[in-house]
Amino acid sequence: MRQPTRAAVAGLPQQVTIYEVGPRDGLQNESEVVPTATKAAFIRRLIEAGLVWVEATSFVHPKWVPQLADAESLLAELGGIDGIRMPVLVPNERGLDRALDNNVHDIALFASATETFAQRNLNRSFDAQWEMFTPVAELARSSGMWIRGYLSMCFGDPWEGEVDQDQVVQAALRLQELGCAEISLGDTIGVATPGQVISLLQALTAAGVELDRLAVHFHDTYGQALANTLAALQAGVTTVDASAGGLGGCPYAESATGNLATEDLVWMLDGLGVETGVDLELLVTTSVWMAEQLGRPSPSRVVAALGG
C-alpha cells in the first residue's frame, strides 16, 4: 500500500495521540441498528491497527440514541484489554451509575459552549448544565475515574452564528474546575478556520486552561478539518479526535457532517514525520470493512484512494 513521503516541518510535536471516536460518535447517527458483534469487531480492528484510545459507546438513554442502547452488552463482549483505554460518554448521574456498574474507568462529559445547543442537546440552559455535571464529576473523581470534557460549538453555532470566544473560554475553565483531565474543543458544524483555532487556543492558555489538557475535534463540513488540525498542532496541541472512515456527525445539529477521518489524519501526520503508532494499512482495511457493514462507501479521501 502506498505511503506518504516523509518531510518533517519544524515546530510540530514529535508524537500525537489520536483519540478515536468512530464507535461512539461515528455510529450514533446510523438509522439501521449496527449489531453489537459488529461494533465489537470494529473496536478490536481499530485496536489492532494501533489505536490505544477508542471511545466505545455512551450511556445515554436509548430513547435519545437508540443506536447505542447495547452499551452494557458491548462492554461485556469486549472485556478489558491491557494497555487500551475505552472511555464511555456519560450524560448525567444515571449514566455514571451505569458506568460504575460496568467497571468503566474512563468517562466523557458533553458540554455546550452556547445557550441554544445546551437547550437542544442537554435540555438545560448554558448555566444549568454545570449544575448537572458537578455531582457527576465529583462522584467520578472520588471513584478514581479519568474524566474528559467535550465542549461543543466552540467555533460556530447553527442557531446563534458566531460564538463569543470569551464564553468558550469560560466554559473550558468550568470543565477544568470540574476536574476534566482533558478538554476536547469541538468544531461541531465544521466552520472553523486555522486563524480562529489559533486565536482560541491562545485565549484559553492566557486564561489559565492548561495546554496539555486540550484536544481538538474537527468536522470537515467546509473541508477545513486537516488545516485546522495542523494549526492546532503548531500551537502545541498533541491530542486529536478522529473517526475511522470519517463516520459521524451530530444528531442535534443537522448541518454537521462527518468527523475528521482518522486515515486522512494519519496520512498527513505520517507525511510530516509525526509518530502516532497507527498502522495506516490496517486502518484503511478496517474502514473498508466497516463501510461494507454499513452498505455505503467511506467518505474518507485516503480510504477511497487506498482501499479501492
Query: Which one, of 307, 271, 257, 260, lies nearest residue 287 by Cα?
Result: 307
* Sequence-ordered list of residues with C-beta below 8 angstroms from that of 138, at least 6 positions apart, any chain: none
Burial of 103 (0-12, 13-18, 19+ CB in 10 A): exposed
Say how far apart CA 98 and CA 76 lie, in whole Å.
13
In sign, the C-alpha dihedral spanning 286, 289, 290, 296 is: positive
> What backbone torsions phi and psi does residue 210 show, to the nearest 5 degrees?
-70, 130
CB 28 within 8 A of CB 248: yes
Count of C-beta atoms within a 10 Å radius of residue 190:
25
Say how far apart CA 28 and CA 69 lie, in whole Å.
10
- Longest C-alpha distance within the chain, in Å? 51
Give me the catalytic one of 250, 261, 266, 280. 250
> What backbone torsions phi and psi does residue 215 show, to the nearest 5 degrees?
-125, 165
DSSP state of 25: I
Say how far apart CA 39 and CA 70 lie, in whole Å.
10
* Sequence-ordered list of residues with C-beta below 8 angstroms from that of 82, at least 6 positions apart, any chain: none
The answer to whether residue 180 is catalytic is no
Question: In which residue are the cell numbers 518533517 written?
Answer: 8
Active centre residues (catalytic): 250
